[in-house]
Chains A and B, each alone.
Chain A
Amino acid sequence: MKVFTCPLLCIVVFAFCVHTPLFALADEAESPIQPCSPARTEFVLMQLQSFARAKMHSICKNIQPNEFSKDIAYEGGKVVARYRSVTPEEHSVVLKPLASGKYLGIISYREILYECTGKTAQDAATGIFCPIKARRITEIVRYSKGQWL
């Protein structure tokens, strides 16, 4: 009997622990800092800033059309070249602690659409581009299990 009760007891105890707040806290707290403390908030903000920089870098690297790969269209007898541009350093970050002890992040940046017209695709692609449209983009991200998503 004793041979079977010991591992069984371990399983019961383990199952109990998984559902206690103790593990939940361990799940959420990626550092030994107490949740909702100023130190934790500062840590989470640092992570958000780092996340935002990486995101901006990814956006700049992957945006289409871009300065090196412009979109060429034939419109009304003219050739129009266009590309979009984001300046990675020019973004703002706001951390929003929520009542539940969780966090939201607001990343804001500006995307500009540039355009140039010409008689030929070569003229349009190599001419002087002017900004014709701007978008103020706000991304709302959430903090989950120690990382920003």
Chain B
Amino acid sequence: MKKCTGILSLLLLAVCFALPCASQAADGNYIPKVASFDIFVDDSGSMMMKHEALGTEKILIARNALQKMNIAIPALNYNASVHSFAPYADVLCPAGYDRATMSAALASFNADADVFNRKTPMGDGIAQLHPFVNDMAKKAAIILVSDGKSNMGSDPVAQVEAMYADNAELCVHVLSVADDAKGQDTLNAIAALRPCSVMANAGDLLADDAMLNKYVADIFYTEAAPALAEEQVIVLRSVQFAFDSAALTKDAESVLDEAALLINEQPNKHVVVEGHTDNSGPEAYNAGLSLRRAQSVKAFLVKSGVDAKRLATKGFGESHPSFDNTTVDGRALNRRVELVFE
């Protein structure tokens, strides 16, 4: 039985050079779907045999597909581990996911093991993994890698059902190297137990990058919505002006001094000083008043040290209401000057 070493440094360098050093998954905009995952690899005699269609040992097809997947898994804060069954072994102890460490662990799977008399107790292997799964940080994913041949021991489908009964936030995904209908049927039955399960064929993932990326995304992450660019706006309410006038009140000076400070904190930006009114009174009068108020504000800001070239003025009057003009509060909110940073 392989011991849990967690350190395969001798293979690390070789693996790094053997793998394509192509683009790794961009991690910045991904939200992890799981807290932990375990790759559970069928290491039985049948996996040492050549795939009927692909002509390569199934364990090597599986290993290569897993290595390719490993490159596509984003470096988010997963807890990761690797186990094998037939025989059951700890291949990589659970630890923070590290792409290089995972790659080294996966590289340990090879086609050198005996074929003869190495049957596949898949159900028993899953049963042996069960206690480990109970302790996994949830939500958790198991990636079961197998040809589906289960020719001794307990029923693997029943064992996965038992694992599910104890773990509501678990999903068992399948990476198939099955080369016969019976093996594929077993794997299909496991994947059908929960709607979250994703099934893929290892040969297909090796041949199709888009399919592989989708498989990884379906198991490991969702893409975060792109952050919205924010427009900066300073709002001054009408209380800063004398009634029906563009003259600033004495008390408003401290407010505008603060606005000047905020504007000068962003010296590279231009600011449009927009005057707005409610819909009381004639439209043309409101347009004029709003422009005069904007100009008053600009004049004060310039006196307070803002470069006049950075400031433009517009009078929108009542044409751009942001609030309900049928209420007292809404009309008060509409009477405003907005300093819009560009």
Contacts and interface: CB of A to CB of B under 8 A. Distances in A.
A45 interface: no
Given A62-B329, A64-B322, A142-B254, A135 B262 contact: no
B234 interface: yes
A63 B322 contact: yes
Interface in A128-146: 131-142, 144
Contact of B251 (A110, A132, A140, A144): A144
For this complex, into which size category does the number of interface residues on chain A fall? 20 to 34
B239 A149 contact: yes
A104 B254 contact: yes
Contacts, number: 76
B218 interface: no
Interface string A60-73: 01111000000000
A59 B259 CA distance: 21
Interface string B316-342: 000001111001011001000000000
A135 B228 CA distance: 9
A106 B324 CA distance: 24
B234 to A, nearest CB: 5
B232 interface: yes
Contacts of A96: 258
Contacts of A133: 228-229, 231
A139 B236 CA distance: 6
Contact of B255 (A58, A59, A140): A140
Contacts of A149: 237, 239
A136 B232 contact: yes
Contacts of A61: 327, 329
B13 to A, nearest CB: 47
Contacts of A100: 254
A31 B259 CA distance: 29
Nearest to B330: A62
A138 B324 contact: no
Given A58-B329, A62-B330, A63-B322, A136 B255 contact: no
B230 interface: yes
B228 A131 contact: yes
A140 B252 CA distance: 10
Interface in A89-127: 96, 98, 100, 102, 104, 106, 110, 112
Contact of A59 (B234, B236, B251, B333): B333
A49 B285 CA distance: 36
B254 A138 contact: no
A136 B231 contact: yes
Contacts of B230: 110, 134-136
Contacts of B327: 61-62
Contacts of A135: 230-233
A59 B230 CA distance: 19
A70 to B, nearest CB: 14
B249 to A, nearest CB: 10
B119 to A, nearest CB: 52
A84 B254 CA distance: 30
Contacts of A112: 228
The 10 residue pairs across chains A and B that have the minimum distance between CB atoms? A62-B330, A62-B323, A134-B228, A136-B230, A62-B324, A149-B239, A134-B230, A58-B329, A135-B231, A140-B255
